[in-house]
Structure 1
Amino acid sequence: MRSQLSILYEDRDLIAINKPAGLLSVGSGKGKEPHALGILRDQLSRRNKSVKLWPAHRIDRDTSGVLLFATSREMREAVMRRWKVAEKTYLAIVEGCPKPAEGTIDQPLRLDPKIYQMRVGSHPDAKHAVTHFTTERTVGLRTLLRVELETGRQHQIRAHLAWSGHPVVGDQRYGTAGTRLGLHALRLGIAKPGTNKSLVIETPPPVGFLELLR
């Protein structure tokens, strides 16, 4: 079991970590599987620092990268109120070569609870979702995209890119098999609530990530 997480940013109100792929952001309620929230709490307690933590957002189990926690419920709620205007940048390795090389996917999403998968398209239960993408480079039959989220729906990048015909590499739920998911939360930029301070937190993709690009 992993006992130490890389802390990217820390102050009295917010803590950001580099979540590795394969680790839940928070507990699932279905067992005692390790999760980032619990590991970080234990890690801080070993520093004689008793801190309460609330997830400001979540990233999927198989997605690596920036994950932000608040040290109070009030700060978490303040961050969530600003979430729509926060900078949320990902790297995604997809199958094929999107044409045009950059664009916007503006398609509503809704969760199909029977298969725990997001459906794309108009529906009374669907929520507004917008994803912007830019091609970084193409190697062979795969492409590295820089993705900016205007909204932050569950599985948004994965569902939108699969709908466009270019599923994320290794995304068994939405299209392709593989050893790991080609999705990394690269950068989070947010104006810290209660201050004039702009926080920009970034972490490069893990070793082996770009090897998926071939």
Structure 2
Amino acid sequence: MEENKAKAKKVNSRFQPRGCTILHEDQDIIVVDKVSGLLTMGSDKERQKTAYQHLTHYVKKGNPRARNRIFIVHRLDKDTSGVLVFAKTEKAKVFLQTEWQNFSKKYVAAVEGKLAEKEGIIESYLTENSIHRVFSVTNPNKGKYAKTGYKVIRESKYFSLLEIKLFTGRKNQIRVHFAENGNPVAGDKMYGIKGMGVKRLALHAASLTIQHPHTKKEMTFETNIPAFFKQLMK
């Protein structure tokens, strides 16, 4: 299939969605680079300051009566930055969600310490407790199968920089797998080690390859590794 590597798109500053850099937009999808600290969609505590709300305002161009809208396809954790895709039609949303497991997702993460195996795969069954903390179980009937591939691309005294391939897309999958492996993602306040002095979660959705819902062409969206990661690895 034809591959299209998308770059950032210039947007009228008047309607620039806060916390989101437009990578690609057409009549079916809108793809952005989300900053760390921004929710994908609303929560009980926050409903307005989200990527969904900012992009809804963007596609309506400030007109609340406009019929233009967006549809949530997938999510990134609040503190995870990187490639995020929204659909602009219900049909596009259904297609993307149906095919989601067939798409290629690559992340970059800085984790604490050094890994004994410099390349490998982590597999487990993930479940969630009453306080929304995810953890692995051995019984396949009590959790959802999760598979994470990784490769160490750089090491420093305290951290390892990893390239990660996500084979499945479970909640907090990367964070849980590496925390349970003894190498939590740097800056992870839920699964990591407190007191490391890392201000943000060092997890970034660096690349996403999808099949376009209308043209069926393969499209790859890439972002640069945030400068924060490079500073962390010094």
The two structures have a TM-score, normalised by structure 1, of 0.93
Task: Work out whether residues 55 and 76 of structure 1, in 8 Å CA contact, stay in contact via their aligned partners in 2.
Answer: yes
- Greater CA drift, 15-24 or 31-40: 31-40
Report matched runs for 1:21-60 at 5 Å.
Answer: 21-46=36-61, 50-60=67-77
Question: Equivalent residue of 1:94, what SS?
Answer: strand
AA matched with 1:40: L
Which residue in 1 is equivalent to 2:209?
189
Q: Percent same amino acid at aligned positions?
A: 36
Task: Work out whether residues 28 and 214 of structure 2, in 8 Å CA contact, stay in contact via their aligned partners in 1.
Answer: no
Change (3 A) 1:169 1:117: same
Corresponding position: 1:116 with 2:136: no
The correspondence for 2:199, drawn from 164, 179, 185, is: 179
Corresponding position: 1:72 with 2:72: no
Counterpart Cα distance in 1 of 2:110 and 2:59: 34
Q: How many residues align?
A: 212
Deviations 1:121-151 (A, max 9, x none): 2233300100000011001121000000000
Question: Equivalent residue of 1:133, what SS?
Answer: strand
Counterpart Cα distance in 1 of 2:70 and 2:166: 25
AA matched with 1:21: S
Counterpart Cα distance in 2 of 1:17 and 1:194: 19
Counterpart Cα distance in 2 of 1:32 and 1:197: 34
Which residue in 2 is equivalent to 1:102?
119
How far the C-alpha of 1:54 sits from its partner, in A, is: 0.8
How far the C-alpha of 1:204 sits from its partner, in A, is: 1.0
How far the C-alpha of 1:44 sits from its partner, in A, is: 2.4
Counterpart Cα distance in 1 of 2:156 and 2:57: 41
Which residue in 1 is equivalent to 2:178?
161
Question: Equivalent residue of 2:177, what SS?
Answer: helix
Counterpart Cα distance in 2 of 1:192 and 1:112: 36
The correspondence for 2:158, drawn from 131, 138, 141, is: 141
CA-based RMSD? 1.8
The two structures have a TM-score, normalised by structure 2, of 0.85
How far the C-alpha of 1:167 sits from its partner, in A, is: 0.4
How far the C-alpha of 1:211 sits from its partner, in A, is: 1.4
The correspondence for 2:29, drawn from 11, 14, 18, is: 14
Counterpart Cα distance in 2 of 1:194 and 1:31: 33
Q: Which runs of 5+ in 1 are unaligned?
A: none
Task: Work out whether residues 93 and 183 of structure 1, in 8 Å CA contact, stay in contact via their aligned partners in 2.
Answer: yes
Question: Equivalent residue of 2:153, what SS?
Answer: strand
How far the C-alpha of 1:119 sits from its partner, in A, is: 1.0
Question: Equivalent residue of 1:16, what SS?
Answer: strand
Which residue in 2 is equivalent to 1:212?
232
AA matched with 1:83: W
- Greater CA drift, 42-51 or 189-198: 42-51
Instruction: List 4+ stretches of structure 1 deviating above 3 A.
Output: 29-33, 47-50
Deviations 1:31-68 (A, max 9, x none): 44400000011122227775211111000000000000
Question: Equivalent residue of 2:96, what SS?
Answer: helix
Deviations 1:157-205 (A, max 9, x none): 0000111111000001002233100100000001123433101001112
Counterpart Cα distance in 2 of 1:156 and 1:90: 12
Question: Equivalent residue of 2:227, what SS?
Answer: coil
